[in-house]
Structure 1
């Protein structure tokens, strides 16, 4: 049955958006080759970088080898959302009803925009012009179904009504997993399996019967099969939206800083999911609304392939608030946010939310995270911090502590070479205060490190406060000379590992041997870490 015009969808896609956003955030010209990495692999790159051989999936070193002048940035979803908000606002100004699938990709109903501009072709041209006026290039596609429209946007195609299956049939089956915002995480494995089974195109997969797909593959395969056949991915449901699901919070004083707004958004997300759980539903489309002291009303709808978790809801609220408060949009509020509201637009049965092996939404990790969020509510946003691996030479430098719920972006790139970095294994505990100790030789004289990076004498004993230990072994020193070209910020240090054998003032039961990581600076030796 051919879908009617009212069900058609228009998708607007900005190619290479993470790379475009990173370049715009750093004020780089469009011709500069840019790559965005995650897990030391390229996840997005600009057209200029692609022309020089850079591809997604390459290791960072290999990408830099192919393009020596490549500018590399770490993946940052918050930055992507912040830079995309002006584009979404520009499109929403001429075609209300925009829904953001992810930064760089949005959709809207085709009926209103095609009637207003006369046709889908005219509407597509106008949307491209509006995005160009906002400073970005984009492609527009239209089709009967959402996933087909997104694939069509990647090819700048307007699929005629009822022609979705014919349009998709010759495309590689990998297209079913090309857009992560529309597919479950296991979609990549499904595509790989289909390819090994000899189903190389979307049409090959669509030719299978629904019964064969449902009996041999998982639930996501059934959704992918409906998409391949041009059928609705989400069948119409008779479930009505339960009443009183929306949550809102009044901010007194009004919120003007992104971190304060994100903290309020996290607490609101928790309240929303308590209501959703009580109603036995999960949210798949979320409206974020903010009102300011000057009477401005801002709203944006986020659509998700899978039901939102509390963490996913908090992420989208943070991204949207960051885009409003610190973005470059003309709709940026002129006053602080006084009211923040979250409203579910579309819900599904709670069974659609993936549950843990030993329970439901109350899995151990989720319960622990909710408890920590409550602690934040009592003590403040910075009271609960989590560590993320960062770059550096010492173990203390390689940990960046960030407030719970913030984007886990390290202070420096952990995949950089970092010459002089402490060799493995790393200490099991890092002491924040770096307590001072004294290292002595066999005669009791203090041991230091020379300008050539060697001990002044073999270390034999360590004194820590009123206690002392003889050493059964040591390694090092490893000198580090940082920023030697800048006298104002130059730092020289050396690290050594020592194994404690026995103490003179030990407890009755004796002292268990343990190893310490020491660092030598201008004031002598300090304990940086403990090996257990």
Structure 2
């Protein structure tokens, strides 16, 4: 099988560790973590020394590191601040593939010949990138540990240094970049052999679109370990036909990666019909926002054309043209894992990055065209169930949701969506499956006075009335200046008196003060009781209530 043994191309990968932290606040000092979907996405060295790890729940991270400062993930800022890095890399080669912000890859063959070899290319590239000093993000109130610091107290910006690795294929090159090694040609399988099979799950993105494939690869890795194949070297020694029969397409792709080959066989025929999709603008568009809306339509058209031709693509090129003849293009990794909505998101990030970095000056005359071009087409073999009955989680959910909606009606199936808000009962809302929240932009609002993390583990359907008393048995109140009238010492709940051992607050929240009909004034407290319970209390209109309880 000569085609099966075709080797992978030499690839250089450039990786900035903890790029989400760099994008949201510059090079982090102290205990800092970026969070997404209630888990740690990236953390600083100080947080790692305290035991914080990627993927941890926030409750566990706070228990390990009480001083941990949390920042919301900002994918648009990650892309925007990565753009100067990509522009510097393009001085060495015009084709740079963005695997995700903070991680990019480029083919080595041509640039290495021009600059005198792979090691010389890596050295020159490192020197060029060391000159960059990415613009530090503000140490803003998004750090949930407290308010934003004044400019004179802001940490001095630090230049993060990249890690560079070279190997056969993108998968091996990413691992080589983490280890900062240049793997000699033909020895990639030897380099990969000691790695645990769990690294197969790390090749997909950390966003929602990559979660399904990451979960499937993680389950495959767990199965391989149970079968006595804990390392990539153990997997690579298995016969190809045995892996294909037992594990299906997913196992065959993992077997190829373990042997230092590409996960898919190269295309054996030309790309066929022109599958790029394009939208022309006449007159030219001066702003990027209209292009963002068009990007969703183009993404759907691209997926329909690829599906109609029975093809998939490894990368997608986002290209724009301007009235003065200037243009720009950027390759984003696709690998068949980006649905139209996710691809449209990357188009939006890229347009914002170009606009912020000054890619198109005042003389550009506006945008005249937006194109999505599929790159490196391969045959789409579909998603067949593996022998042990496993499929992509996203596919199973979509099929199940369609069946349930057919039985219950369109509005009979809902999902929980984060929409923003200040209280634990306002952050999440139920949305009909397949629709978006009424005001999705609200989730990214600053929300001053919102409840910090970790969130309560239990929230009642309706606040439970309680009475809070001080040492003299008098009700505790909060003044107009958000000062507590006296220290709370007792809590009366359902006729039972509990002793307050510790308390924190108040945290005031004033909403719609300009509208007498909808105005609200609330103050929240956290209290711990002698029986070990920890409660979130709210005072509104002179009445106390339990808004949540901490597990």
- TM-score calculated relative to the size of structure 1: 0.69
Pairing partner for 2:14 from 12, 15, 21: 12
CA-CA distance at 1:397 after TM superposition: 6.1
Q: What is the CA deviation profile of residues 391-411 of structure 1, one whole-angstrom value per residue up to 9, with x for unaligned ones?
A: 422745655986799897576
Given that 1:10 and 1:149 are in contact with CA atoms closer than 8 Å, whether structure 2 keeps it comes out as yes
Q: Does 2:53 correspond to 1:55?
A: yes
| Cα pair distance change 1:180/1:406, threshold 3 Å | farther
Pairing partner for 2:250 from 220, 240, 244: 220
Q: What is the CA deviation profile of residues 308-364 of structure 1, one whole-angstrom value per residue up to 9, with x for unaligned ones?
A: 4222321221221122123xx36355443221111111223344368999x99x979
| Cα pair distance change 1:389/1:230, threshold 3 Å | same
Pick which of 314-323 and 152-161 moved more. Answer: 314-323
CA-CA distance at 1:365 after TM superposition: 7.3
| Cα pair distance change 1:352/1:323, threshold 3 Å | farther
Structure 2: gaps of 5 or more residues: 134-159, 385-390, 403-415, 431-435, 464-473, 478-493, 496-504, 525-538, 543-551
Give the structure 1 partner of residue 153 of structure 2.
Answer: none
CA distance in 2 between counterparts of 1:4 and 1:363 reads: 36
Pick which of 271-280 and 313-322 moved more. Answer: 271-280
Q: Does 2:270 correspond to 1:270?
A: no
| SS of match in other structure, 1:93 | coil
Q: Does 2:180 correspond to 1:144?
A: no
CA distance in 1 between counterparts of 2:258 and 2:48 reads: 29
CA distance in 1 between counterparts of 2:510 and 2:441 reads: 35
Q: What is the CA deviation profile of residues 450-490 of structure 1, one whole-angstrom value per residue up to 9, with x for unaligned ones?
A: 9967xxxxxxxxxxxxxxxxxxxx99xxxx9753899x999
| SS of match in other structure, 1:295 | coil
Write out aligned runs for 1:421-500 (5 A).
423-425=459-461, 483=508, 492-493=521-522
Give the structure 2 partner of residue 510 of structure 1.
Answer: none
Give the structure 2 partner of residue 378 of structure 1.
Answer: none
Q: Does 2:202 correspond to 1:165?
A: no
Q: Does 2:320 correspond to 1:290?
A: yes
CA distance in 1 between counterparts of 2:440 and 2:326 reads: 27
- TM-score calculated relative to the size of structure 2: 0.67
Count of aligned pairs between the two proteins: 429
CA distance in 1 between counterparts of 2:228 and 2:376 reads: 37
Root-mean-square deviation (Å): 4.4
Give the structure 1 partner of residue 359 of structure 2.
Answer: 331
Give the structure 2 partner of residue 153 of structure 1.
Answer: 177
Give the structure 1 partner of residue 422 of structure 2.
Answer: 392
Q: Does 2:453 correspond to 1:416?
A: yes
Given that 1:101 and 1:303 are in contact with CA atoms closer than 8 Å, whether structure 2 keeps it comes out as yes
| Cα pair distance change 1:268/1:218, threshold 3 Å | same
Pick which of 404-413 and 336-345 moved more. Answer: 404-413
Give the structure 2 partner of residue 174 of structure 1.
Answer: 198
CA distance in 2 between counterparts of 1:344 and 1:353 reads: 20
CA distance in 2 between counterparts of 1:221 and 1:194 reads: 10
| SS of match in other structure, 1:289 | strand
Write out aligned runs for 1:15-94 (5 A).
15-24=17-26, 29-94=27-92
Given that 1:148 and 1:168 are in contact with CA atoms closer than 8 Å, whether structure 2 keeps it comes out as yes
Given that 1:388 and 1:409 are in contact with CA atoms closer than 8 Å, whether structure 2 keeps it comes out as no
Write out aligned runs for 1:236-275 (5 A).
236-252=266-282, 254-275=284-305
| Cα pair distance change 1:181/1:482, threshold 3 Å | closer
CA-CA distance at 1:196 after TM superposition: 2.5
Give the structure 2 partner of residue 102 of structure 1.
Answer: 100
Q: What is the CA deviation profile of residues 50-106 of structure 1, one whole-angstrom value per residue up to 9, with x for unaligned ones?
A: 233321132223323443443212233333222222211211122221111111111
CA distance in 1 between counterparts of 2:179 and 2:442 reads: 32
CA distance in 1 between counterparts of 2:128 and 2:383 reads: 37
| Cα pair distance change 1:284/1:364, threshold 3 Å | farther
CA distance in 2 between counterparts of 1:343 and 1:108 reads: 18
| SS of match in other structure, 2:90 | helix
CA distance in 2 between counterparts of 1:187 and 1:407 reads: 34
CA distance in 2 between counterparts of 1:269 and 1:404 reads: 23
CA distance in 2 between counterparts of 1:411 and 1:399 reads: 18
CA-CA distance at 1:165 after TM superposition: 1.0
Given that 1:53 and 1:67 are in contact with CA atoms closer than 8 Å, whether structure 2 keeps it comes out as yes
Pick which of 317-326 and 333-342 moved more. Answer: 333-342
CA distance in 1 between counterparts of 2:193 and 2:441 reads: 42
CA-CA distance at 1:492 after TM superposition: 2.8
Structure 1: gaps of 5 or more residues: 367-385, 428-449, 454-473, 496-518, 523-532
Q: Does 2:125 correspond to 1:127?
A: yes
Q: Does 2:366 correspond to 1:341?
A: no
Q: What is the CA deviation profile of residues 6-36 of structure 1, one whole-angstrom value per residue up to 9, with x for unaligned ones?
A: 9311111111222222223xxxx54243211
CA distance in 2 between counterparts of 1:7 and 1:303 reads: 16
| Cα pair distance change 1:32/1:92, threshold 3 Å | farther
| Cα pair distance change 1:292/1:168, threshold 3 Å | same
CA distance in 2 between counterparts of 1:483 and 1:241 reads: 61
CA-CA distance at 1:289 after TM superposition: 0.3
Given that 2:424 and 2:459 are in contact with CA atoms closer than 8 Å, whether structure 1 keeps it comes out as no
CA-CA distance at 1:178 after TM superposition: 2.5
| Cα pair distance change 1:175/1:482, threshold 3 Å | closer
| Cα pair distance change 1:407/1:219, threshold 3 Å | farther
Give the structure 2 partner of residue 206 of structure 1.
Answer: 236
CA distance in 1 between counterparts of 2:18 and 2:73 reads: 12
Given that 2:419 and 2:440 are in contact with CA atoms closer than 8 Å, whether structure 1 keeps it comes out as no
Give the structure 2 partner of residue 381 of structure 1.
Answer: none
